[in-house]
Amino acid sequence: MEGAWLPIHEVAIVAMGLHLLDNLELGDLAEACAQEARSALLLVVAPLVLERGTASSVNPIAIF
């Protein structure tokens, strides 16, 4: 996209409605997976629905 400042964000968020998760701190989750000897989980993330919004705080939940 010529002239786009953040083309991936513009296409993914605006055009596709895809949620992008940036700057995740997954160290504690990796440790929990190792302790449980698990390599698969369900990660649930429910961002706020904000009209014309492009960011929201989330409270992710990992389910083994």
* Domain range summary for the chain, segments of one domain joined by +: 7-63
pLDDT band at 7 (very low <50, low <70, confident <90, very high): confident
What phi, psi does 25 have (nearest 5°)? -105, 100
State residue 42's pLDDT score: 94
Average pLDDT, the chain: 85
Using a 10 angstrom Cβ sphere, with 0-12 exposed, 13-18 middle and 19 or more buried, the burial of residue 62 is: middle
pLDDT at residue 14 greater than cutoff 80: no
Q: What is the pLDDT of residues 40-50, one digit of tens each?
A: 999 998 888 88
State residue 1's pLDDT score: 60
Please, are residues 4 and 12 in contact by the beta-carbon 8 Å criterion? no
Q: How is residue 15 written in tokens?
A: 């055009």
pLDDT at residue 38 greater than cutoff 90: yes
